[in-house]
Amino acid sequence: MRAERFWQLALERSQAAAASGSLVPLDTEVLPLGPFINARSTFDRQGDAGDPATTAADAVSGASTGASATPSQHNGDQGGAGPGAGFSNPGDWHPFVVRRLLSATPKHLNRAGPRPNPFLPWDRELAVAPLGSSHLLLLNKYPVQAGHVLVITQEWQPQKGWLRAADWAAVAEVDRDTGGLWFFNSSPAAGASQPHRHLQLLPRLAGSPSCPMAPLLLAQLQGELGPWAWSYRLSRRSQSGDPEELGALYGDHARSLGLGDPQHDPQPLHPYNLLFDDQWFLTVQRHRDDWAGFSVNALGFAGYLLVTDRADLDWLRNRGPWALLETVASKVQ
């Protein structure tokens, strides 16, 4: 059982940061789309009451293992409708959770104009703990879940560069202590709002699903569900908190998808998202950031969509969330 010391520190730090104004929780509600009913978000330890996994924007301040890892290639056009098929069904909303942003749109979601780097220097009120000499655990400034944290580099490293051994070592240090849904957006075309390197964690209670899509991902790994119609790789994890396994899966997926080789190419050749929990590791190649006013980051592929005042809800109602993911992800070559 994990100690969850980092999670507890994040929760304690959140109270002081919220009181000082450094932390600005986002106010959202679940939309009555598809099978879902209206529910106002609650800002507590787990996230939503009754929902073990909750959405977040890419806010700043939202198989096999080891070198022999062989990613399962789940992509291709199978025809039909619904999860695991090549074409989307507008009436199929399972397992997506769609939320509307009720609070003011954070600056990081407004694309126009230059933005200062919020991590150099970082807000000391948001700092949770150092991770060695090169990384830091930092509160997300605009969380919709208590304890939403970032792993950032203490010195400048580009978000669009390859993740390196030091990054995975910092992630693994947190992962050994606190489990949950990890995600990474490689560039603006993959939903990244900041150019400074950061990975994100939404902590989860032991035994809770990490995200709405987790059961479908496990079903694919077990051969019970067909592939989706976009370019991705999905592999099992065998051990939490292992930086070598994380780095090996990352490199294998990158080479298999044609993103490049972290050991030889200066930077990735295409935008991508990473998502992983204790059981699986997913890489999705991206085609574009947004469609119909929806900005989709890695959390879209976890089953979370955020509706802002730019979003075309009529398009989503008519086409469905699976079509949105198909549009923003790269097609299978």
> What are 179-197's pLDDT values in tens digits?
999 999 999 999 999 999 9
- Taken in order 156, 161, 167, 171, the sign of the CA dihedral is positive
Tell me how far apart the alpha carbons of residues 34 and 11 are, in angstroms, rounded to a whole number. Answer: 33
**Percent of the chain at pLDDT exceeding 90:** 75
pTM: 0.86
The reported pLDDT for the residue numbered 83 is 60
Q: How confident is the model at residue 66 (pLDDT cuts 50, 70, 90)?
A: very low
Is the pLDDT at 36 greater than 50? The verdict is no
Tell me how far apart the alpha carbons of residues 230 and 324 are, in angstroms, rounded to a whole number. Answer: 11
The reported pLDDT for the residue numbered 104 is 81
E runs forming strands in 186-298: 198-203, 232-236, 272-276, 280-285, 290-291, 294-295
5-106+117-328 belongs to which CATH class?
alpha beta
**Percent of the chain at pLDDT exceeding 70:** 80
Query: What DSSP character marks residue 153?
Result: E
Q: How confident is the model at residue 142 (pLDDT cuts 50, 70, 90)?
A: very high
Tell me how far apart the alpha carbons of residues 317 and 329 are, in angstroms, rounded to a whole number. Answer: 19
Q: What's phi and psi for 119, nearest 5 deg? A: -105, -5
Nearest C-alpha neighbor of 49 from the set 63, 30, 67, 31: 30
**Element containing residue 100 per DSSP (H, E):** strand 97-101
Question: For the chain, what are the domain ranges?
Answer: 5-106+117-328
The reported pLDDT for the residue numbered 44 is 46
DSSP of 312-331, one letter per residue? Answer: -HHHHHHH-HHHHHHHHBPP
Average pLDDT of the segment spanning 119-148: 96
> What are 274-293's pLDDT values in tens digits?
999 999 999 999 999 999 99
> What are 83-133's pLDDT values in tens digits?
655 445 777 899 999 999 998 877 655 555 567 899 999 999 999 999 999
Q: What's phi and psi for 108, nearest 5 deg? A: -70, -15
Q: How confident is the model at residue 75 (pLDDT cuts 50, 70, 90)?
A: very low
The reported pLDDT for the residue numbered 92 is 85
